[in-house]
A and B are shown apart, each in its own frame.
Chain A
Amino acid sequence: GAGVSQTPSNKVTEKGKYVELRCDPISGHTALYWYRQSLGQGPEFLIYFQGTGAADDSGLPNDRFFAVRPEGSVSTLKIQRTERGDSAVYLCASSPTSGRVETQYFGPGTRLLVL
């Protein structure tokens, strides 16, 4: 079956612009995670959804970052007034449940470059 997909694979934008990054999880996976990976670093947690609701958004760096998952499947990470420091790879992962720990399956990421 299909894995986690993310679009676009690369995004170049100008400072101050708004961007949306999309994640399609594995079908049937109820938990969805967003991570940010800066160059030379490990992924850093941003937000976690269980179904349609954000169960934990403690990793979002500030109020310019927002994510939604309106139907409990596809999720969109939204970044307002982008800054050069937002440049990174944004990774999405999904897992079957959150009631017990399951392995997270990652997408290929979206590389965001803010000029």
Chain B
Amino acid sequence: QKEVEQNSGPLSVPEGAIASLNCTYSDRVSQSFFWYRQYSGKSPELIMSIYSNGDKEDGRFTAQLNKASQYVSLLIRDSQPSDSATYLCAVKGVGSGYALNFGKGTSLLVTP
């Protein structure tokens, strides 16, 4: 069973701080990693994808990937109350066809 694990939270951070969201995965041959943001009552929205070890930055978001440790994280700098949402980690393995394996998500609350 290919698993993607996330702390369910809620993770509470003050406005302006850095929020750090973590994800571990069990399939060693996973190649592609995605972060989705899901507001309550809405559908998931793709915010970051990462395929190589290291960091990838896009605005206030930085995705970090460490394949040796089977670990991917999302950093949100200068957190805003509008960042309050559930963040889903998704992983795709080699030869897994079309399927993405999703974690249950981490709930983030940014307090003013």
Is chain B a partner of chain A in the same complex?
no
User: Which residues from chain B sit less than 8 Å from chain A, CB to CB?
Assistant: none
User: Which residues from chain A sit less than 8 Å from chain B, CB to CB?
Assistant: none
